[in-house]
Amino acid sequence: MQLFLEQLTNGLAVGGIYALIALGYTMVYGVLKLINFAHGDLFTIGAFLGLTLLLSLGLTDHIGPVAGIIVLTLMVMGLVALIGALLERTAYRPLRTSPRLSAVVSALGASIFFQNAIMLIYGARFRVYPHDLLPTTSISLFGVDIPVMRIVLFAASLVMMAGLYYFVQRTKTGTAIRAAAIDQGAAKLMGIDVNRVIMYVFLIGPALGGAAGMMVGLYYGQINFTMGWVYGLKAFTAAILGGIGNIPGAMLGGLLLGVIEAMGATYISLAWKDAISFMVLILILIFRPTGILGERVADKV
Amino acid sequence: MKPATIINILVVAALLVAPYWLNAYWVDVLNSIGIYAVLALSLNIILGYAGLFHMGHAAFFAMGTYTTAILNTQFGIPVLWLMPLSGMVAGFFALLVARPIIHLRGDYLLIVTIGIVEIVRIALVNNVFGITGGSNGIFGISRPVLFGHVIRTPHDFYYLIFAFAAITVFFFLRLENSRFGRALNYIREDDVAAEGSGIDAAHYKLVAFVLGAFWAGMAGTIFAAKMTIVSPQSFTFWESVVMFTIVILGGSGNIRGVILGAFLIVGLPEVFREFAGARMLFFGAAMILMMIFRPKGILPPPPRTFNLDFLSSARGGGK
């Protein structure tokens, strides 16, 4: 039982990270029907930018670790959002009317570009986040020691998800995004600037992904230029699990996948951890291609 | 003779004599290009003809390679004899995995096939059934022997791979104009309409998938023979990406385009090897630019039209 609760909290913390990345995939897919393969690399960029800012600005010494990290996270989110918008402008916008697969190849090209750019700038080694920034203490809950870090991480991802949910459901821009996701042509007729909506999607998704990258750096302490690929694929799995194009679905799918993976690693096999996620993905697609919260009916032949 | 035919003959002739002027390193690069060309041509059946978004081809390649490696090192069966068997193992595996997923549309299939290639790689790393050798892989695969001649140097391999590639091209050219090839063409254009005109789309898609996997498995034998050592690192998702990119960038559905794509994708990074790290950066950027300026690939297939000229001549109109 103790092991179970411990793994549950771990799964939720990692799941929160998956959910944040998954939101970027699901929003882009919802509006553009494009799998943004470079999204995982934007996540990596977030992790590395976070480390650079952390080490060079020394904000955590001036205004305290908590406020410092909040400010740094916001800066990382802003910078990664800019890169995301730039990516959309250069690699995806010219291909909007091209065959679907050309956009996929363009996304793969962007992914290779980002990965190698990070490797050239930061080197291929693992880079280490300072480990004394956030409290390493644990609190005891139902007889289980839960690291404070885990709770902070989970809470932070929940706050961001709630913020996004509010934005998409309640604001005018959010409504425009939802409208464009349903039918771009009709949205255009209603006077929505679809290009603008797509730009917003490519600002918000990367911002959340970048924040997730920094959170991974703080949580695990180690980052590497290739890590975006595995996290990206897991997050995409989470997006499909919840129903791609569906924002609450991505949140639920992320948390669920985090827990499934943590449980699988504990009770089945650590070595097969990644394979378990992909098997979940395949089973979901075979039996319920629309995901848990998805509504669209899958095309079948 | 049409100019295209002349170019074809010249290219084939140049490739036949090329090794005489090249050192072992560049012949080896050509060998890699040849293997990737065959792999991309086999993927082209699935992706280019049947229009199935398949990004897990490395899984079938791995199946073939490991079948050859295991049977050769354990039972000492000569490498080249294992070619059809490796193909069949890959094809059978493809049949098993494709059956439940073949009906998935577009991106969903893309994602599932990525999942499959990752599961296969993890299985290889985890030394599944204790026969794959874990992350170290399998070494000590014996050299292929052809007509009493041991194939050892890159120059020897060049002609083996060249022959295999030539057979592949011939086979797929014949396939393109067969009843099966035309059925796939209709399915790619519109599978609902194809179904409506009596083509069993799901069946043809499955056959295309299995055939592509079979061919990739056979390429796996050549790869195992060339490397004499195989490990899971050779079958990551990025290998699938390379094959996928060759097909799309070269011109999916066009055999000539796919071969040209193999030369560009596998050959160019070798040409720019002296630029070390930065070359992959430019490579990624080039992929984006290529897609922006030629979204259908460098050599897209010529549009298929029905030749109705006989109608006017039958009416006696002539010119």
* CB within 8 Å of chain A, chain B residues 212-241: 237, 241
Question: What is the per-residue pLDDT across A126-180, written as a single tens digit (0 to 9) for each?
Answer: 888 887 777 677 777 777 777 878 888 888 889 988 999 899 889 998 889 888 8
- Select from B53, B112, B285 the Cβ nearest to the Cβ of A285: B112
pLDDT in tens, A99-122: 888 888 899 899 989 998 998 888
Among A12-26, A258-272, B305-319, which range has the highest average pLDDT? Answer: A12-26
Query: From the list B53, B115, B281, which residue is nearest A282 (CB)?
Result: B115
Q: Which residue has the tokens 């709770």?
A: A151
**Under an 8 A CB cutoff, do A94 and B277 touch?**
no
- Tens digit of pLDDT for each residue in A48-62? 999 898 888 777 777
Residue-level pLDDT at B316: 47
Return the higher-pLDDT residue of B111 and A17.
A17
Closest in A35, A91, A237 to B107, CB measured: A35
pLDDT of residue B319: 41
Residues of A in contact with B100 (CB under 8 A): 286
Q: What is the pLDDT of residues A189-209, one digit of tens each?
A: 988 888 999 999 999 999 999
Once rounded to an integer, what is the mean pLDDT over residues A273-294? 81
- pLDDT score for A275: 85
More confident site: B92 or A265 = B92
Report the pLDDT averaged over residues B13-24.
80
Using a CB–CB cutoff of 8 Å, tell me whether A118 touches chain B.
Answer: no
Q: Do B288 and A91 touch (CB under 8 A)?
A: yes
Mean pLDDT throughout A265-285? 83
Contacts of residue B114 in chain A, CB cutoff 8 Å?
A: 233
Mean pLDDT of the A206-227 span:
89
Rounded to the nearest integer, the mean pLDDT of chain A is: 85
ipTM of the complex: 0.81
Do the chains contact at A300 and B103, CB–CB below 8 Å? yes
B115 touches chain A (CB under 8 A): yes
Interface size between A and B, measured as CB pairs under 8 A: 136
pLDDT at B88: 93
What local confidence, expressed as pLDDT, does residue B313 receive? 53
**Between the ranges A258-272, B266-280, B290-304, where is the mean pLDDT highest?**
A258-272
Checking if the pLDDT of B317 tops 60, the result is no
Say yes or no to pLDDT of B307 above 60: no
Percentage of the residues of chain A whose pLDDT score is greater than 90: 24
CA of B53 to nearest chain A CA: how many angstroms apart? 8
pTM score of the predicted model: 0.85
Question: Which of A105, A279, A286 lies at the smallest CB-CB distance from B287?
Answer: A105
Give the pLDDT confidence score for residue B52 in this predicted structure: 85
User: A297 pLDDT band (50/70/90 cuts)?
Assistant: very low
> Which is higher by pLDDT, B105 or A284?
A284
Q: Which of A104, A120, A280 to mutate to test the interface with B (most CBs of B within 10 A)?
A: A104
Per-residue pLDDT, B318 = 41
Q: How confident is the model at residue B22 (pLDDT cuts 50, 70, 90)?
A: confident
Write the residue in B100, B110, B191 that is nearest to A286 by C-beta.
B100
Chain B residues lying within 8 Å of A98, measured CB to CB: 291, 295-296
pLDDT higher at B213 or A287: B213
**A112 contacts chain B (CB < 8 A):** yes
List all residues of chain B from 42 to 101 with a beta carbon under 8 Å from chain A: 47, 53, 100-101
Minimal-distance CA residue of chain A relative to B124: A272
The confidence score (pLDDT) of residue B276 equals: 67
Distance from the Cα of A271 to chain B's closest Cα (Å) equals 7
The SS3 call for residue A301 is coil
DSSP string, chain B: --HHHHHHHHHHHHHHHGGGTS-HHHHHHHHHHHHHHHHHHHHHIIIIIS------HHHHHHHHHHHHHHHHHHH---GGGHHHHHHHHHHHHHHHHHHHHTT--HHHHHHHHHHHHHHHHHHHHTTGGGTS-GGG-EE-PPPPEETTEE--SHHHHHHHHHHHHHHHHHHHHHHHTSHHHHHHHHHHH-HHHHHHTT--HHHHHHHHHHHHHHHHHHHHHHHHHHHSEE-GGGGSHHHHHHHHHHHHHH-TT-HHHHHHHHIIIIIHHHHTGGGTTHHHHHHHHHHHHHHHH-TT-SSPPPPP----HHHHHHTT---
Set of chain A residues whose Cβ sits within 8 Å of the Cβ of B252: 101
Average pLDDT score over residue span B29-52: 90
